[in-house]
Each structure stands twice: as structure tokens, then as C-alpha cells.
Structure 1
Amino acid sequence: MNLFKDSDRSFDSCLKCTACSSRCPVASVRPDFPGPKQCGPDGERLRLKSPDFLDEALKYCTGCKRCEVACPSDVHISDIIADAKARYGKGNKFKIREFLLSHTDLMGTMTRGTAPIVNAVTKTKTAKVVMHKALGIDQRRQFPPYAHKSFRSWYKAELEDKQVFARNVSYFHGCFVNYNLPELGIDTIKVLNAMNIGVQLLKKEKCCGVPLVANGFHKKAKANARFNTDSIEQAIDSGSECVISTSSSCAFMLREDYPRMLGETEGNPHQQVNYITRFLTQEFKNGNKPELKPVNLRVGYHSPCHLIRSGGVLHTLSLLREIPGLQLHQLESNCCGIAGTYGFKKENYNTSQDIGEPLFHQIEEGEFDYIVTDCETCKMQIEMSTSAEVIHPVSLLARALDV
């Protein structure tokens, strides 16, 4: 099946300049990976003639989209590779590892009431060895802990009938906020309420589909895209100004990939999706800025790959510079290496860590109070691989509120 609704012919614009390969984090550490030019536009010309030209090296692509940022001809290289996997690969054979890593809604739901037990078990050496040998999940990888109570449960108990504001936005919180880090969702509401903006949750939402696409569950990813698009339309029709997301990868998927997966729909509801720092910087620019107190911290900012691709890094940096007293240092733009579920797989673990090594070195040498990043899996990778604690830009802004 095709991952995207319409065949991507952007490969015709490839100049063969190899700018993409020079920016590929995998090619920089794996000599056996031919690079995005060969796997993407070069390979696509051959694959259209015959699926026999499928290169198994495509599996090493992390989907970081840095190749697309580097491309001077706007070739959708990462998307061409993802679509090739969907069309010409060996099919979506059921694999337990890929299922467990990608069906985040199901796994999160299964931890209800058992989060402390699940967290304790996944930390044990025995469990790690079993997952390594039986499932292919590297035993050196650390899993993010599940929260004792989901974000939606907290919202329903605390705020569902109390968000009475003249202006309202809807919040696509995503799996990580719901099951692992509800504090980020709470901070988001705190910040927006301080700006006299109410926050409603989508009536229902499912995983945005990023891990599903990465692990070959394309039919499920498209079904989730249709479901979430309907929820977004309902939210806008009910009076929400827009739909915000605090995940840079979720926001990119909802806003950029959904239209190509599903086709443009009437009114294009996907354009109503806004990444949170973009929304906040526009509000600040328009004069809706809460009173902030000094936050005397030295922080390093890591730019997530998908936020770079969407052009959103400048919005996050602008927002952070509004916090008085903050010493902000932008780290060199190196991929952290985890690429969602990629770095959990034992065959990718060493590649993942090698990619991230320059970033880890910067962080350890910087002596920062915190590392700030917009991406949940970047947070996992950095906290596992360094001594740093990682915080989201919105949570740092919440600390600065003069309340």
C-alpha cells in the first residue's frame, strides 16, 4: 500500500548535489548506509521500474528529515524512503517488538492501575535481558516511567467544567503527556490560563501515528489520522481557535503529514494545528504576555529534528528569550540519535548512541542546570545518556509565571 495518498514525484527535482547525505546522521556513523540520496530519489527511479531494486539499507533511515532540511530542491527524501518501505517492503508481518513499540495508546491503557509495578519490572536486569533476547529491544535502553494517573484523568477530575474563558484552544496532548508526563499538560494549561485562554481537550484522540509509520503499521496510522482529523474538525466547529500540541513530532505529523496521507479535505483542518511555542510567540507579539519573574538558570537548548524541519526552532528560542534571568545557550544542531523507537532496537542501539555522542559531549561540558527540548524522545535519550535533567520549554515558562 502507499503510505501517502498521491505518489511523490519530487525526486524528479533532485540535483544529485549530495547535500542531503552530508547532513545525514546515520551516514556519518555507518559506512554501510548509502545515504538518503541513493536510498531516496536515486532508488525511487529504479523502484518504479521494479520492486527488485529495493535496498534493504532503507531500514537504517531514522526518518529525522534532516536530509529534507538540507535539500535545495525541496525533495521529500525522508517521505520517499518511508513510502518505499510501505510499497515495496516485505509487508507488515506481525512482529511483537514493533507492535509493542508502536501501539502507544494500547500500552499506556494497559498500565492503568499498575504503573508502579510496570515501572519497577522494566528496570530489572531480568526483564531487560528477556526483552533483549526474546524481543530485540536492547537491554541498555531505559524506558520512560509511566505516570500513576493519566493526564486525561487529571483533567476530567480537576478542570473539565472549570475552563470558562472568552477564548479557547483545544489541546492534542499525545501519548507521552497522557501516560508518561502529565505535568507538561498541566504546565501548558497553567501558562495559557495565565494569558486568559481556556484549554479544552479533544473529545477523543489517538496516537498521531509517528511510531506506527516507523514500524510498518501504515494502515493503522492512516486510520488514526482519519480519527484525529475528525476530532480536530469537531473542535474547530465547537469554537476552538486552533488545536495546539506540545510535541514537535506530533505537531509535524498532524499539520504536515496528515494532508498528504489523507488528501486535502474541505477547509483543511490540519492548518488549524499549531505547535505550542509558535502559538505563544504570536500571542506575546500581539501583547498577550503574562507577567514573568526571573528564572536564574543556565540552560542548553537542543533543537529536535522534526521541529527543525517545520521551521519552529526560532519560535522556541524567541519564547525562551522572553524569560527574565535565563542564561540560554543554543547547542550545536546535532541529532540526539534515538529517532523515536529506532534507538530501542538492539540492531540500532550502537548507531543511535554514536549519532548522539557529539551532543552528549556538548551537554556534559556545558555544566547546565537543565537541558531544554521540545521532543519527548530527545528527552529520553539525553537523560539516559548524560547526567542532565531535561525540561520542556513550556514547563520552564510555567516556572516564570508571577502567580
Structure 2
Amino acid sequence: MPEGIQLKNISGNNLEQCLKCSICTAYCPVSAVEPAYPGPKHSGPDLERYRLKDNRFFDEALKMCLNCKRCEVACPSGVRIADIIQASRIKYSTHGPILRDRMLANTDFVGTMANRVAPIVNTTLGLKPVKAVLHGVMGIDKHRSFPAYSSQKFETWFKRNAAPKQDGYRKHVSYFHGCYVNYNFPQLGKDLVKIMNAAGYGVHLLEKEKCCGVALIANGLSKQARRQGEVNINSIRKSAEKGRVVLTTSSTCTFTMRDEYAHLLGIKTDDIRESLTLATRFLYRLIERGEIKLAFRKDFRMRAAYHSACHMEKMGWVVYSTELLKMIPGLELVMLDSQCCGIAGTYGFKKENYERSQQIGSGLFTQIKEVNPDCVTTDCETCKWQIEMSTGYEVKNPVSILAEALDVEETIRLNGV
């Protein structure tokens, strides 16, 4: 290429940088188990050149893509391969979401309804006749276990028990708790509040919070995802204006809001992107700079196996969670091989995807059983569901392990709270 001339993108994504090396296909977990899937290179940059000319080149086989981003992590040219695939699904797919897809994607609505009668919902979803109906009528695989719903939302607990105390701290952060913490597992949110308060930080909820929208995007409801995304970004922006960093405890929620909003939904995020971060990243950086100290119980003992969630690898943030865990004297941490668990949010719940989902995760499940840890730890809640269902091992977020091991009184003393 003559000196001074630069390659210019003619598409919305950077497909022009594709070298056609096919390393993305070699790293694709779907291609490894599904011969019918064309692979990320062909589905992404290759066919996008044709789709730009004629949308009839769109192939519904693209719905097999997990959006795990492993192709993008492997790409030597930084091509946003998965974004090309997902954007094509949004733009060209003529198959609208069915009732099952809308139910799986609308986590705020379903979660709010389920919380009101949580014991009944949890029992009912485990009954074989109910599973058979969901399988035959709704297309939700009968082998899939649902996460249990909590009788009390995290937001309710926080407003009643924690909120009145938070203004008393000198420093402050905001918390995007997400659907999982709010409707299924409030304890994770409580664990974060416990750690941050002991470190001298008050925790506040956002003015308004909606589901991050990752399930909406995956299920063909991008317009609704954009509306909800705008609510979240506006709330994060208001928090940033107050000087508060927004913490999360979900790798996928974090990744979706930091990157997918801009790439797939056209939501402006560049001004607040660095104000949104995973709690383990925030804590590690504070400790590294000497701004806080954490003390741990002398009697704490645990052997944990860490699973690198796909979106954690894409962000490059695995090191923050694992290095924090290594600070716990009584914790033996085993790093599992980098493998996709196969669930990909709502993907693995669907009857047509279930078997493929389990095949993708089979290597991971085998390794966990061979390691035989006290528990598995990961930053992704849907990875937790998949691993617990497929191996029987308990899965904990690194934040919960930190909270369990924390010597609260000594941490408060060290930080002068």
C-alpha cells in the first residue's frame, strides 16, 4: 500500500481488517460441536460483504452464535466478528421473537411476578409435568433447571436495611445490581455492601435501573433493549456527575453496558464508560494504590476453582478477580482451563440449543469434577446456573467469597471507618 494511504472502513463494523486466517473459527465453541454452523469468519466478515449488497444473503443459522466473543479475543486484527453477526441478526432477521423468547428476555417483568409467590414458583418449575409442558408448548428444554427466585427483592432489602446508613460514609459508590441479584440471589448484593462499608464506602442504588438488555438483544428485542439501555446510561451519567463510580457484580451486565450498547444499540456511552466497572476491578485497584486494606479471618479455609467467563476474558478483567482471591490466606485457588460453559444466557434454555449447549460445556464440566474443589467461582451468574446444574458443585461469585472470608471488624479498623 502506498505510503500515507490508510484503509478506510466502508461498513458499520471493521470487517475490512479481516485477514481470512480463520483463527476465529478454530476458537469458536459452536464450530467445535455443530457442523451446521458456518463459523464466525464465514458468518461474520465473509457474508457481511454480500449482505451489504443484498440482505437475502442473511442466514438464520447465525442464531447459533453464542456471542461469547471468543472469536474476537482470538482475532489478530481486532475485527469485531461477533458484533458483525449480532448486528446482522438485528438488521436482517425476519423471524420475530416467539412467546418463549419474550418471557426469557423480560427478566424484570417475570422476576417481579415470581418474587411475589417465590416458593410456589420455585416448586412448580421443578415438577416434571410442568417441565414437560414447557418443553412441548414453550420450547424450553425439559432438562434445564431454573434459578430459584427470592421472596424478597434486593432493592426492598436495601431500602429497608442498608440505605439509611450509607450517607454516613466519607466516600461513595453506586451499585448496578442487575436482575440476578434483585430477583434471584440478593445475598450477592448484601455481600458487596458488607465489603464496601467495611472499606469505608457508602453504597447507593441508581436513580433508575432496568435489566441491562443482554437477553433482549439475543432474543430479537433490540428496540426494547435500547429503551432500557437509555434509562441505565442516563442513571449512570447522573451518578458520575456526583463523582460516584458505578459498580457491578455481573461480568455480562458490565460488558453489555460498556460495549454492546454502543456497538449494537447505538447508545452513546463514551463519556461514562470508565465510570462503570466490576466491583472486583474497583477493589483491586484501591488496594493496589494503598487506598484501602482488607483483613481476612484466620480460620477461613477453602479450595476454589475459578472459571473464566467469556465476557470477562473479552474485557481482560479475569486478573482482577483472581488476584483479589489470591489475597485471602486460607484460600487455595485452582485456575480452570479457558472454556465456554455453553449456556450463553437464555441460549441454553431453548429446546433447539440445549444439547449443543451441554456439548460445548462438557470439557469444563469434566475438569471441574476432576479438580473436585470445595466450590467453583466465577463472575457470571448464568455460568453459575450452568455449572451447578451440570456438575452439582456450588458456584460462588468472587465477591461472595471475599465477604465470607472478610474479617469485618479488623477491616473497619484498618480503614479508619
* Global fold match (TM > 0.5): yes
What is aligned with 2:120? 117
> Does residue 1:336 correspond to 2:312, yes or no?
no
What is aligned with 1:387? 392
1:237-288 Cα shifts (integer Å, max 9, x gaps): 2342x101100000011112223333436x7123210111110110111221
What is aligned with 2:44? 40
> Which of the numbers 333, 344, 351 marks the counterpart of 2:356?
351
Q: Secondary structure of 1:243's partner?
A: strand
- The letter of the residue matching 1:206 is K
Q: Secondary structure of 1:112's partner?
A: helix
Distance 2:163 2:196 in 1: 15
What is aligned with 1:20? 24
Q: 1:22 to 1:342 in 2, by over 3 A?
A: same
> Does residue 1:53 correspond to 2:57, yes or no?
yes
Q: Secondary structure of 2:115's partner?
A: coil
1:126-170 Cα shifts (integer Å, max 9, x gaps): 110000000100000000000010000000110112112111000
Provide the aligned C-alpha RMSD in A: 1.3
Q: Secondary structure of 2:16's partner?
A: helix
Give the superposition deviation at 1:80.
Answer: 0.5
Judge conservation of contact 2:97–2:220 (CA < 8 Å) in 1: no
Aligned runs of 1:304-323 on 2, under 5 Å?
A: 304-323=309-328
- The letter of the residue matching 1:258 is Y
> Does residue 1:172 correspond to 2:159, yes or no?
no
1:203-257 Cα shifts (integer Å, max 9, x gaps): 21000010000000000011011110111112122342x1011000000111122
Q: 1:45 to 1:168 in 2, by over 3 A?
A: same
Judge conservation of contact 2:97–2:219 (CA < 8 Å) in 1: no
Distance 1:248 1:186 in 2: 18
> Does residue 1:97 correspond to 2:79, yes or no?
no
Q: 1:263 to 1:228 in 2, by over 3 A?
A: closer
- The letter of the residue matching 1:40 is G
What is aligned with 1:251? 254
What is aligned with 1:129? 132
Q: Secondary structure of 1:208's partner?
A: coil
State the identity as a percent: 49
Distance 1:109 1:125 in 2: 24
Matched residues, number: 395
Q: Secondary structure of 1:161's partner?
A: helix
Judge conservation of contact 1:259–1:270 (CA < 8 Å) in 2: no
Judge conservation of contact 1:147–1:179 (CA < 8 Å) in 2: yes
> Which of the numbers 77, 82, 92 marks the counterpart of 1:78?
82
* TM-score, scaled relative to structure 2: 0.93
> Which of the numbers 299, 303, 309 marks the counterpart of 1:298?
303
Distance 1:8 1:355 in 2: 31
Distance 2:267 2:33 in 1: 36
Give the superposition deviation at 1:291.
Answer: 1.2
Aligned runs of 1:104-253 on 2, under 5 Å?
A: 104-163=107-166, 164-240=168-244, 242-253=245-256
Q: Secondary structure of 1:171's partner?
A: strand
Give the superposition deviation at 1:124.
Answer: 0.4
- The letter of the residue matching 2:141 is D
Distance 2:267 2:374 in 1: 45
Judge conservation of contact 2:100–2:140 (CA < 8 Å) in 1: yes
Distance 2:24 2:289 in 1: 37
Give the superposition deviation at 1:94.
Answer: 4.4
Q: Secondary structure of 2:203's partner?
A: strand
Give the superposition deviation at 1:9.
Answer: 2.9
Structure 2 unaligned segments of length 5 or more: list them: 1-9, 409-417
Distance 1:7 1:379 in 2: 37
> Which of the numbers 58, 63, 68 marks the counterpart of 1:64?
68
Give the superposition deviation at 1:55.
Answer: 1.6
